[in-house]
């Protein structure tokens, strides 16, 4: 679990160092919303699609903070992702 005591940033740096990636899997809608928070209450700031691959910098309660192609970061629900082995 990540707390507001600076560990968030450490996790982010560690994740960037390891270059972890996710692949979007099939979804009932054909896309997955990218949100500004790790919650369904977060504002939708974009969409990602099955078979797209993204690096991620954080993981929280089943959500992943991904880096989109325009360098924007947002959260996606992990149930429709699979980790790519490096």
Closest CA relative to residue 86, chosen from 10, 21, 25: 21
**What angle (nearest 5°) sits at the alpha carbon of residue 63, between those of residues 40 and 60?**
115
Tokens of 66: 């991904």
Of 83 and 4, the structure prediction assigns the larger pLDDT to 83
What's the whole-number average pLDDT of the chain?
A: 85
pLDDT tens-digit readout, 71-86: 999 999 999 999 998 6
The pLDDT score that the predictor gives to residue 10 is: 46
Domain ranges in the chain?
Answer: 7-84
Task: Give Cα 65 distance to the centre of its chain.
Answer: 3
The pLDDT score that the predictor gives to residue 2 is: 42
Q: What is the architecture, at CATH level 2, of domain 7-84? A: Roll (2.30)
> Is the model's pLDDT at 35 over the cut of 90?
yes
Tokens of 36: 């500004």
């Amino acid at each position: 679990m990540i707390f507001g005591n600076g560990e968030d940033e450490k996790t982010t740096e560690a994740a960037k160092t390891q270059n972890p990636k996710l692949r979007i899997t099939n979804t009932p809608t054909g896309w997955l919303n990218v949100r500004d928070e790790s919650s369904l209450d977060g504002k939708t700031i974009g969409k990602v699609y099955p078979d797209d691959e993204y690096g991620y910098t954080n993981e929280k309660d089943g959500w992943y903070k991904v880096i989109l192609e325009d360098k924007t970061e947002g959260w996606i629900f992990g149930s429709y992702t699979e980790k790519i082995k490096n």
